[in-house]
Chains A and B, each alone.
Chain A
Amino acid sequence: MLKTTLAGLRAHKLRLLLTGLAITLGVGFIAGTFVLTDTMDRGVAKTFAKSADRVDVAVVPKTRDDPDKGLPVGLLAKVRSVPGVTEAQGRVVGDTALLDRDGKAVGDMPTVGMSVPTGRLFRYEMENGRTPSGPGEVVLEKDLAKREGFRTGDTVTVLNAKNRPHRFTVVGIVDFGIDQEAGYRGAVGYDPATALKMTGARTFAEIDVAGGTVAAVRDALGPGDREVMTGEELGARLAKANGADTKIIKTGLLIFGFVAMLVSALVIYNTFSILIAQRMREMALLRCVGATRRQVFGGVLVEAAAVGLVGSLLGLLVGMGLGWGALAGINAAGMDLPLDGVTLAPRTIVVGLVVGVVVTVVSALLPARAATRVAPIAALRTDLEPGDGRFRLGWVRTLLTVVLGGVGLAVGTYGAIGMDKGQVAMYLVAASGAVFFLSVIVVMPALVRPLGRTVGALPARIGGVPARLAVANAQRAPRRTATTTIALTIGVGLMSLFAVVAASGKESSTQQLAKQFPVDFQIQTQFNAQEKDRHLPPALTQALRQRPEFTAVIEQREKETRAGGQETTVATLTGTAFGTLIKPDFTSGSAAGLKPGAAVVDGVTAKAMGLRAGSTVRLQTARGALPVTVAGVFKADDAPIVGFLLTEADFDRGYAVRGASTVYVKARDGVPAVSARKAVDEAIRPFPTARAASAAEIREQITKSVDMLLMIFGGLLGLAIVIALFGIANTLTLSVVERTRESALLRALGLTRRQLRRMLSVEALVMAVIGAVTGVVLGVVFGWAAVQAMSENSVFALPFGQIAGFIVLAALAGMLAAVLPARRAARTSIVESLAHD
């Protein structure tokens, strides 16, 4: 039996390959994910290992990332005096904003300010120049230098931690490569003493030691809040911290890989079902000559395993290509990943092969069972006509459809409307979507005819006889068409879902901006890790208020503190801006109650602390607890304020914060946008770290980031769609084989080759559009549910253009999928096809 199966496979190499292609792509994506992340991990590990060579012993604080709990500066002297230590340097890290040639701080975040070790401990790559020494010298991170056009020998201005400008000469360009933050934000390197001064740091983030031993250093330092380790251990630890990033990438990509495999499974299932149906006689003949049902079953599964194995092996190759391509793409986009050969770990091979083979074999289980049901007598019957278009929805399917569909809809509705908004509701909606999708799979064969008639109405009217025949053909085998189209439904459905959620998100934020937040400009400083320095100086507000172009300049001041035993933020706005200019919706109370001794609070904080209008809460201030009455609770997303809002008088009494975290500017009516922008820019010019964004820019930024996310999702889901298109091509190819004589008859009666090709294109188009429309409907409905579940304020928006685009693209792609089968059909000789019996 095994021999027969394998001989059959050898005889149908092309069929084998086509079937395996779906698996190849799915496995390729999964393998590609591993290859990409493994190569990234290995590159990182290698660089860290290199840096570890240079450091013999490293001292690091136990609690990282807290600048106040670093290593005391005095520790360095102690380390230096340890016997055997030839050199020891403290590592300083902080924020020092580099100014560009126009005098504005570079980037959205201040550049990193860090110490650059000298001598043996220097563990970076010097692009050119030398390490800095003395108070007048810096080195720049290479991408930063390139972006801003600075070279060795240039003079640059850098702001210290107190935002005071200092001038330096650039003495070198450094590739900080292994330091991700330096690579992302850009970095300015100083000698250690200057670095301490510039960053205002009072502690070291790390002390690197050359010579000496871990034991010696540990003994010399005695117990304390720190760890002493070897250079290798330090390298491993840093590499691991970096690895956490690749883990997130890996998980994210594997989710899309899972979707792709799901689609592959559907395609494989369908292909095997059709193949078995076409080989009824072969199966029956096997049974006639004495093969048991078990042997027939086994034969089909062996075939599936072989297809899965070949497909997966090719998939590994594709995966290596994809991984390499992704790395090259990321590097081309400006990142700097170490690229020395792609890594195909044994784990990747095992996972790829196992997933590929198991998915193929499992997908072939039902078709294999169908094969065992062929009666031996079928060998003697003539071929059955392929499909008469009938499909009876049996009671099992009816029951399943009703139950799954009902549960999906009920749970989805509850998640969308009945529940508290938030993550739990969204998960519930997602789960209900999956359940409902199952019911669509079950009922789809019954929907093929009505959908086919509807979708095919237009092509049938304008496409002439070939199109009418095509529309009829698409409905001939409802199960086959259903599975073929469902594969496409998955990808298109998820795309539509994301598109709806994205469009709604954009619309919600735009409406929020317009309704609750009608300012023209928002001015903030570069985000600064050190909270106390995040403020805009009062002088900036003064400058803005002197401009005649503006009617309102409002300061928002904030202080992090505690209230009712929890961490929170207390804020205030200039004068009566709250309630007049910034006016969120209230769930209880109102803005009118905001008087001295009272506060308003956002809904999320109120819920967390159990507050309502009328409750009293004690805010922690510099002068002890300040009791305030809650005058109202506003919707959390409606205002740019988190926590409590007090009157200015109360805020000033409790907190010494004079600088604003944000300044809002409203232009006078009739002032052109360009003039207003110019006025803002002039007013903030003396403040290098202040940056102004107009409402339009904020909207654009939101739009841009949402679109970017959608594009990434689209790209990743694209694979699932491509696999589904291979499914369409597969189904068509097999249908073409089945209808050889029919095609020959049509050709004999005067159908031109071109018309025959068009016929298959239209059939593919109808199938693709059925799948896409189903996907779009599901995506929009559950997108709506997700939007409802997301938050109180979310507004549903339907991206008509995109949705229509998906359907049109699916239609075009479907026709593209028909090209090869159509050529094959058109090439067939009429005489031979007619004679074949």
Chain B
Amino acid sequence: MTSTFASPHGGNPAAGSHPAGPRTAAPPAVEAFEVSKVYGAGDAAVHALRGVDVAFATGAFTAIMGPSGSGKSTLMHCLAGLDTVSGGRVMIGDAEVTAMNDKQLTLLRRDRVGFIFQAFNLLPTLTAEQNILLPLELAGRPPHQQWFDQVIDVVGLRDRLGHRPNELSGGQQQRVACARALVAQPEVIFADEPTGNLDSRSGAEVLGFLRSSVREMGQTIVMVTHDPVAASYSDRVVFLRDGEIVTELHRPTPDTVLDRLKSLGA
């Protein structure tokens, strides 16, 4: 397999041809301790998360799966500092997310986290290129030109840079979103059903980029999905049910994921 990505920093020890699999040596990129989330109060209280303990390894591609209402999106929102927790702690690297105020959270998201959402990833007033560079501009960081060119070529958007989102197909839009997340080189990228709105070919392309960015330059990705095929691109799948982590799976294939889901009764 030829390298799709070369690290801009050359000697990144995490980069290279590591085989798929959890890396227990490096400290986890994201960690949750006893995280709980309750909506409402009293009789109407809904426990979305019930004391979740989970760690996401650096340089790994982890998928979070679970039936509808299992709390997988809530978990991701709490991990990414988009939502507040009711109890427990979340760490991204050495930063305690759960202890931060809104301003700190904003800066954390801006400087250390990347996002790919299911839909509505792009600002309609900006061109593809402006969208990709938006997080860097918000942070006031100049883009790394070589890295930018590399990312653009990999996602194949060179001739679409000047287009606005409404001039791009759904797959192209999602590729722009991937490029945006990758260009900023965040510590972790959170992807929420990134292929949920795409046809299977476009979806496979996007997932391919995500996997190669993990394998070849050590990007950490946490992806929420309900699609066993999408999950099979990851190194490890964590299964959630009723707000609790019930099981996990290493080196998943669509079949093993499907079997495990069936066993969960989804």
Contact = CB atoms under 8 A, between A and B. Distances in A.
Nearest to A829: B83
A223 interface: no
B135 to A, nearest CB: 5
B117 interface: yes
B12 to A, nearest CB: 23
B82 A831 contact: yes
B117 A834 contact: yes
Interface string B118-129: 011101111000
B119 A837 contact: yes
A469 B123 contact: yes
Given A750-B111, A750-B135, A831-B77, A745 B126 contact: no
Interface in B126-170: 126, 134-135, 137-140, 164, 166
B106 A753 contact: yes
A265 to B, nearest CB: 30
B115 interface: yes
Contacts of A388: 124, 164, 166
B250 interface: no
A753 B125 contact: no
Nearest to B120: A741
Contacts, number: 70
B110 interface: yes
A742 B122 CA distance: 8
A388 B139 CA distance: 27
A386 B125 CA distance: 10
B11 to A, nearest CB: 28
B134 A465 contact: yes
B140 to A, nearest CB: 8
Given A750-B106, A752-B103, A831-B83, A745 B121 contact: yes
B109 A749 contact: yes
Given A465-B134, A749-B115, A749-B135, A385 B166 contact: yes
B138 A465 contact: yes
Given A831-B83, A834-B117, A750 B139 contact: yes
Contacts of A473: 125
A781 interface: no
A748 interface: yes
A747 interface: yes
Interface string A733-775: 0000000011001111111110100000000000000000000
B123 A742 contact: yes
Contacts of B259: none
B46 interface: no
Interface in B76-131: 77, 80, 82-83, 102-103, 106-107, 109-111, 115, 117, 119-121, 123-126
B82 A830 contact: yes
Contacts of B121: 745
B107 A752 contact: yes
A464 B110 CA distance: 15
B247 to A, nearest CB: 26
Contacts of B126: 469, 472
A612 interface: no
A469 B110 contact: no
Contacts of A741: 120
A360 B121 CA distance: 39
Contacts of B111: 750
A550 B140 CA distance: 73
B138 A745 contact: no
A835 B193 CA distance: 12
Contact of B103 (A385, A745, A749, A753): A753
A739 to B, nearest CB: 9
Contacts of A753: 102-103, 106
A742 B121 CA distance: 8
Contacts of B102: 753
Interface of B: 73, 77, 80, 82-83, 102-103, 106-107, 109-111, 115, 117, 119-121, 123-126, 134-135, 137-140, 164, 166, 180
Interface of A: 385-386, 388-389, 464-465, 469, 472-473, 476, 741-742, 745-753, 755, 829-831, 834-835, 837
Given A465-B134, A831-B82, 13 more contacts: A388-B164, A389-B125, A742-B123, A745-B123, A746-B123, A748-B115, A748-B117, A749-B109, A749-B138, A751-B110, A829-B83, A834-B120, A835-B73
15 contacts: A385-B124, A385-B166, A465-B134, A469-B123, A469-B125, A745-B120, A748-B80, A748-B109, A749-B110, A749-B134, A749-B138, A750-B139, A752-B103, A831-B82, A834-B120
Q: 4 closest Cβ contacts across the A-B interface?
A: A750-B110, A472-B125, A752-B106, A831-B83
